[in-house]
A and B are shown apart, each in its own frame.
Chain A
């Protein structure tokens, strides 16, 4: 079955009419965060009560993707009035339904005019919390698959790449590699077989942006991949997603089945010569399998260990064929870029970092959750305005970005605009978007130790500097926090970090020292007081830790 644009519009119209037929529409967040605090039961209860009252045609109850403010879950929103309710329990169901059309239930009200909602600019997450991720019709009603149609029927592959290049989009997987350039390279590779891979491994502790996008709006990623396939000449795609994301896996699989049923994936898409299918591959949750060459090895059924580059996957990738590998969020940015043009996208953000970025706010912050903000938003605004500041009246100490590959940014850089280059300048990286806030009770040596322990257990063991270096650095950090260190340990720490950075095989080993190096740079006094005075300035390392 092939679809044309009238079909697409027809589906969208039917869906819109259906929604407009309801007087009230209640959206219940059923992304992993809210589900884990009971939104599934809540949605059932709402449905039952609506049914009992005979209001089925008057009020719609719908499960939607992430509403963002995970800290206050379960969240529901009233799509018709724009009201948000937080911390909703099953016992609140009657009151919520009683209040429809009148004054909202005061005790549940979640203020929606705060910076948390107002400062966000939603591109990647524009449908999150608005559509039912398990129904392709709702995605289509929000202009879904229009970009793919536009690309296939009215643009040549070079024109598609031109728009992506012009948009200034950079890879959201961590390093910020220009997406247009990567697409051009793959399109230039001469091969009858090419592959598109979506990297949904997301292994950084504290990061859950990609999971949320896949759970809340899987079709957006699928559409982005199909457009990439058309632009680069690939007809097979893979989504590599970690098995620890069962809900994301389920929704992606469902979305793929729906897309194939409608014919937006498969052969002769939109009556053109373009064929594209996508398969899902599950990762076993190894951080290193997010590294592109290890990921490819894993899809091929080999052990997930990186190999030296060059040759890069663009030239020599999956089963030796040219392969385009991009992050979930990178692909999710593509449909709006094609629909609204690269120039529109380039108008958002800073000179060298265009568009928006989704961040996962975690740690010592009031509004734990997911936010999407324009590149270049000052760190201070993210932490204090959008994030609501530090709970319990404690003082701010640092923000950790980029996960185990990133660094800790101290107070003095709070006014820094958050973009790829500024973060690099202070020794951190954008990473995939994890942002962990630390207050004055966090010991920075302990933080560095946490990340080094992570890297040590996630090191694949292939190259000697990373395999042994992570262990040696971890041991030193244990000695320091356990008050058993000597002044020489500090020099050795720096020496080993430098060695790993310069000689490790892949990005894991090369960037693993970043949390140590940035804390050494900005919080050296904390190291020194552990070593010389045997005290932890933050009061976190009270007990003497046994050194293993």
Chain B
């Protein structure tokens, strides 16, 4: 785990600086070590995210939380960008909204996301994002890859067809549970999450069976056995508590 230089642990002796800046023309105040995403959410401004989850380290990888900063040509991921005094952030320009939609469309083409037969139908973050962003159809060709389902575990199963490679399972298993059963293999379009050294989940010697990976998964990729279509509702209440107990609140950076 890495600690971002701007994310020092705050103490009386080492207070972080406070600053004010603008998000969507609204004045907001922040600690210098709070990400723009965090500050936006504190102020009720929603920025879509997929790989980010409070309590886990940041990856900056799904690119859905991109924002514009006045005077900066590049679009920046708000989960790993920190405010500066008087910075002007725009979270919902037409430019970023269009890009977000397209990224989402690409994610839909990548694997086989068939909502009508999915255990997470109605409770899926990918689906919710599509609704929120108004993605009514996908213009890019579907890739229809062949992916397996691993149901070898006694209580859980993974359907790679629904995976968006956010790697929340990998991070929660490593950072919160401390087991590091999950990891990723391959690269590019052939990347896939694996248990241990790509052995069936049910035979994993490191898996503690805690199920945190299932609860943090944004889609129906990881689910509890015995759930039928639309029945898999994820429970995440444990995360803030556990991360507080581990004292990792906001200081984890970059897996």
Residues of A within 8 A of B (CB): 286, 288, 303, 307-308, 311, 315-316, 320, 456-465, 467-472, 475, 492, 495-496, 499, 502-505
Contacts and interface: CB of A to CB of B under 8 A. Distances in A.
Given A311-B4, A468-B107, A472-B140, A459 B189 contact: yes
Given A307-B254, A308-B80, A311-B4, A465 B106 contact: yes
Interface stretch (B20-28, B56-64, B146-154): B56-64
Given A461-B165, A461-B186, A503-B66, A467 B140 contact: no
Nearest to A463: B61
Contacts of A464: 61-63, 103, 106-107, 110, 164-165
A307 B164 CA distance: 18
A462 B59 contact: yes
A14 B44 CA distance: 77
B109 interface: yes
B70 interface: no
Nearest to A489: B141
B63 A303 contact: no
B129 interface: no
12 contacts: A308-B77, A458-B187, A461-B165, A461-B187, A464-B106, A468-B110, A468-B189, A472-B141, A499-B99, A499-B102, A503-B99, A504-B63
Interface in B183-236: 184, 186-191
Nearest to A303: B184
B106 A315 contact: no
Contact of B189 (A303, A308, A471): A471
A505 B60 contact: yes
B187 A505 contact: no
B133 interface: no
Contacts of A471: 143, 188-189
Interface string B50-72: 00000000011111001000000
A243 B59 CA distance: 28
B2 interface: yes
B140 A463 contact: no
Contacts, number: 98
B45 to A, nearest CB: 20
Contact of A502 (B75, B188, B190): B75
Contact of B188 (A315, A316, A467, A505): A467
Listed residue (B109, B186, B187, B254) with the most chain A CB atoms within 10 angstroms of its CB: B187
A432 to B, nearest CB: 21
Interface in B89-120: 99, 102-103, 106-107, 109-110
By DSSP majority rule, is chain A's interface helix, strand, loop, or mixed? helix
B75 A503 contact: yes
Contact of A465 (B103, B165, B186, B190): B103
B63 A503 contact: yes
A502 B99 CA distance: 9
Given A456-B189, A465-B106, 5 more contacts: A311-B5, A461-B189, A462-B59, A465-B63, A496-B140
By DSSP majority rule, is chain B's interface helix, strand, loop, or mixed? loop
B59 to A, nearest CB: 7
Contacts of B187: 286, 288, 458-461
A345 B99 CA distance: 44
A343 B221 CA distance: 61
Nearest to B77: A308
A285 to B, nearest CB: 12
Interface in B112-149: 139-141, 143
Given A462-B59, A499-B99, A492 B139 contact: yes
A470 B189 contact: yes
B3 interface: yes
A316 B4 contact: yes
A311 B80 CA distance: 10
B57 to A, nearest CB: 11
B2 A320 contact: yes
Contacts of B190: 461
Contacts of B191: 461, 467
Contacts of B75: 502-503
Nearest to B183: A303
A462 B61 contact: yes
Q: 4 tightest A-B contacts by CB?
A: A461-B191, A459-B188, A308-B60, A468-B106
B51 to A, nearest CB: 9
A480 to B, nearest CB: 14
A463 B109 CA distance: 15
Nearest to B107: A464
A459 B5 CA distance: 28
Contacts of A496: 140
B162 to A, nearest CB: 15
Contacts of A288: 187
A203 to B, nearest CB: 13
Contacts of B60: 307-308, 505
Nearest to B104: A464
A470 B188 CA distance: 9
Given A464-B63, A465-B106, A503-B75, A458 B2 contact: no
A449 to B, nearest CB: 16
A465 B110 CA distance: 11
B188 A458 contact: yes
Given A308-B80, A459-B189, A468 B59 contact: no
A461 B188 contact: yes
Contacts of A308: 60, 77, 80
Contacts of A505: 60-61, 63, 77
A496 B102 CA distance: 9
B63 A456 contact: no
Contacts of B140: 472, 492, 496
